[in-house]
Structures are given as C-alpha cells and as structure tokens.
Amino acid sequence: MKASAGAVYTVYNQYLKRYTACQVAYIAPPDTVSKEPWAVILSLEWVGDAPLTAEELPHLRPLYKDFMYWPRELHLLRVPVEVPPQYTLVGTLPPFTDEPCRS
C-alpha cells in the first residue's frame, strides 16, 4: 500500500511498549537524494495501550521535539512511500503541516 497525504497510521512501538501514531504530511517529489518520491511523516502526540481508533482522530495534535537545547520543531521524517505491513490505517485528516523535512 502506498502512503497518501493526510493518512493517519497507528503502530506498536517496541521501544515504548505502547502504540503510537503518525500522519503522512505530504509526498515529497524526487530530488538529489532519491529518484523516487518520499513520504514525509509527522509524529503525533499520542500513545496508547491499544491501537488508535477513528473516534480519537479529532483530538490528535502534532508532536514537537523540544528536548534540552534543541529548538522546538515538528518531528518530521522522510520514509519510503510504501507503507510497512505493521502500520494500520486509522483514517485521514487534513495534513497538520507542509513544512520541509531536513532528515
């Protein structure tokens, strides 16, 4: 399955031992790093003991990195457009950002 802008996914996070959520902020076009498009995902400020549900979508907020001396920025990450099988689509929301991703 290919990612699309606005899609919200939930996945079990082995490090946290809880479920987390992310949103596909946008699909980045090919560039000097890759000849293929990339999905830019935004981590969401949500964790749970069970997967995220569609009823919780309106309450989601973006996750900001704000640790010690780091500047307060959205947690964005470039990933392949193909969605891994362990990610579960919950629904869609208007993308929270179209900010460029530097990762």
Structural tokens at position 26: 């946008």
Structure tokens belonging to residue 53: 């549900």
pLDDT in tens, 4-29: 999 999 999 999 999 999 999 999 98
Torsion of CA 44, 30, 2, 53, to 10 degrees: 10
What are residue 77's DSSP bridge partners? 41
pTM comes to 0.91
pLDDT in tens, 19-56: 999 999 999 988 877 788 999 999 999 999 999 999 99
Q: Which residue has the tokens 């010690």?
A: 68
Q: Are strands 7-13 and 88-92 parallel, antiparallel or unpaired?
A: antiparallel
